Structure 1
């Protein structure tokens, strides 16, 4: 496919979004939402702000209603980003938003401001065809994704005025794969107690950090099942933090441990929690403390994987192949918004887009040569769903 000059507007909008920093939990995301609002206003596209529980806007929702009854479908892209990290390691400014050697440069180019710009343009095209279409198209522009709260997606699902989507396509990057599933997760915080005292005291005291170290060894040694059934990935356990103690002369009385378990259909959240609680019980037997070790669930999402014929994955895979791409369906190791949607019974894809470099790292950028075919794939998939 040759380059469509109209797609230069996609790059222009994405570049402007990159030049408005919106790092999750760091920057005010009002300015980046304002860029989108101005673009939508100029084109007369219907949109509204979605607030979180404190009435702070966390997303924009564009809604294009078709002329005939039918299911609604949604496109989702985040417009907040990961932090910059070590800015001295970048070879260009993280908020560059420019094009050099055919690559759009800057934080958010890959994840996912280019996708947001593409989806806005696709919404404008769909609006011109709306009278002949079934159901409707929603475009969610989420400014609260990289915080881990997924505030925009949650606000969308909770909005009583929004049509519930039959499926969602999330604009994460990557040209060779359509992500149709992901491992779930169970995350827990563990409070390990010890007997306080002076480190120089003659009285023996087992500190919380020492007990926590034993617990970490028990968790690392835990046996997890392998791949089973149709799900292609095994469970995984990672101890993600261990915090405790202060100075040198105190025996610590509390140490907090975090554990992240990636789950599968055959090793669900309840199995993950049972494994952790079994390790905790073993710790309290082998090395008793002054109080029982406490486990608190922090988050739990189910794993998911779409069937080969299930929408919207089938539409996106079919559209990619119809445009001459060789793509495969992929189940991702990390969780994503697709897991949140799966918990609500909404099928989702979570990745198809441009080739990229430096995602969440230094020198983030996307290769623009494939923008025409990526736009064509999403256009074909969306219109196919709205005409079905």
Structure 2
């Protein structure tokens, strides 16, 4: 168990990962997966790549099978990242990986290469005692998360050789809360049509842009319900894109709107679509030109109670490590929503403090790393050794 609570080893692997750019849709993922594979192979940890339907590698899966019957639990972290953006806005190289004043610098330091390193170390720590564990521990290292496809998680759940997890702990950063829920979403592209015409015509023409702008107002004026029950956040509607027209002399016959509606247990995807259709119905009273709705994505909201696993194990482990944390329901959706859609409970955030997530000068604070590691290790042992209270050494 040499890697148990070894901040230097965890940090060194995280540095190597940050120094290997893995921007979603930009960089190839082979190099960053190779960094992980070399580390895992050196410690004889069983691992394999997962592939999507097109044969592309989308994740690395580590599996530690216990010697006793029981459910499997999964630690999940992404190792693809957001893009760098305007590199001139960074005060250090985006793929730095350096440590300055106790901060790990670079894209992915916070989201979520440090967590990936930490979870690999937990697997290495627990592997020698696998015979005493119930069920098993999987570590999923996803390289198709920031695309929004969650391809690694999808490939994991579709893999006929992988045990279906009873729950997942996702290593997003932030130390003050354990994220136990999130709003869902309904996303669609709405196509607004109208007869085209010359912008200089003496005949009055109501083009698609005017109609689409009216629809935006109808959507944004729609009444959304207030929070009900234990779910703390209301639904939210946002028009996120408006595309149509070209040049100056023609009024366009088509405009496409992207509509993002965040949903709750009391305002579901079906309610969101009905709201959009109601606004469209008010618009189409003015013309016979068709308006089309093309659904893009739909995930349910989710929320675990403090007694639901794996939230209970993580919250208890934090308390036993001397931390005061609270359960949080997040406004943005996350991979926990996708898991909720297939009946798998998940936590979606607890980790080290961070700054500038997805922005220039992303960095993660390392002083709290031993404590965060101890919390996840304690939680994993509590889930994998249900016959006894998990014992975890305190960080030194």
Counterpart-to-counterpart distance in 2, 1:89 and 1:57: 32
Aligned counterparts, 1:39-188, within 5 A: 39-188=39-188
* Correspondences of 1:1-388 after superposition (within 5 Å): 6-285=6-285, 287-289=286-288, 291-388=289-386
Whole-Å separation in 2 of the counterparts to 1:144 and 1:214:
37
Superposition deviation, residue 199 in structure 1: 1.1
Show CA shifts across 1:18-51 (max 9, x none).
Answer: 0010111111111111111111111111011100
Show CA shifts across 1:234-264 (max 9, x none).
0000000010000001110100001100000
> How far apart, CA to CA, are the structure 2 residues paired with 1:194 and 1:304?
39
Q: 1:320 to 1:11 in 2, by over 3 A?
A: same
Structure 1 CA distance for aligned equivalents of residues 215 and 125 of structure 2: 56
CA distance in 2, matches of 1:92, 1:301: 37
In the alignment, the residues of structure 2 paired with residue 297 and residue 218 of structure 1 have an alpha-carbon distance, to the nearest angstrom, of: 19
The CA deviation at 1:197 is 1.8
Aligned equivalents of 1:251 and 1:305: distance in 2? Answer: 47
CA distance in 1, matches of 2:342, 2:124: 28
TM-score computed with the length of structure 2 as normaliser: 0.96
Displaced runs of 4 or more, over 3 A: none
Q: CA offset at residue 204 of structure 1? A: 2.5
CA RMSD of superposed structures (Å): 1.1
**For 1:305-330, what per-residue CA distance to the aligned partner results, in whole angstroms no more than 9, with x for missing partners?**
00221000000000000000000000
Aligned length: 384
Say which SS state the counterpart of residue 367 (structure 2) adopts.
helix
Shift, 1:6, TM fit: 2.2
- 1:44-86 CA-to-partner distances (Å, cap 9, x unmatched) read 1101110011011110000000011110000000000011111
SS at match of 2:368: helix
Q: What is the CA-CA distance between 1:203 and the residue it aligns to?
A: 2.7
SS at the partner of 1:116? Answer: helix
The 10-residue stretch of structure 1 (101-110 or 291-300) with the greater mean CA deviation from structure 2: 291-300
SS in 2 for 1:324: coil
- For residues 157 and 371 of structure 2, the distance between their equivalents in structure 1, rounded to whole angstroms, comes to 30
1:70-114 Cα shifts (integer Å, max 9, x gaps): 100000000000111111111100100011100100000000000
Quick one: distance in 2 between partners of 1:111 and 1:203? Answer: 55
Unaligned runs of 5+ in 1: none
The unaligned stretches of length 5 or more in structure 2 are 387-396
Take 2:277 and 2:170, find their aligned partners in 1: how far apart are those partners?
Answer: 35
Q: Deviations along 1:189-223, whole A, 9 cap, x unmatched? A: 10000111211122332111111000001111110
Secondary structure, counterpart of 2:377 in structure 1: helix
For 1:264 and 1:9, locate their aligned partners in 2 and report how far apart those are by CA, in whole Å: 41
- Superposed CA deviations along residues 264-293 of structure 1, whole A, max 9, x for unmatched, are 0000000000000000110111x315x211
Distance 2:134 2:306 in 1: 23
State the alpha-carbon separation in 2 of the partners of residues 308 and 6 from structure 1.
30
Deviation, structure 1 residue 5:
7.3
Q: Is the 8 A contact 2:306 2:315 kept in 1?
A: no
Measure, in 1, the Cα distance between the counterparts of 2:372 and 2:129.
20
TM norm structure 1:
0.98
Shift, 1:115, TM fit: 0.1
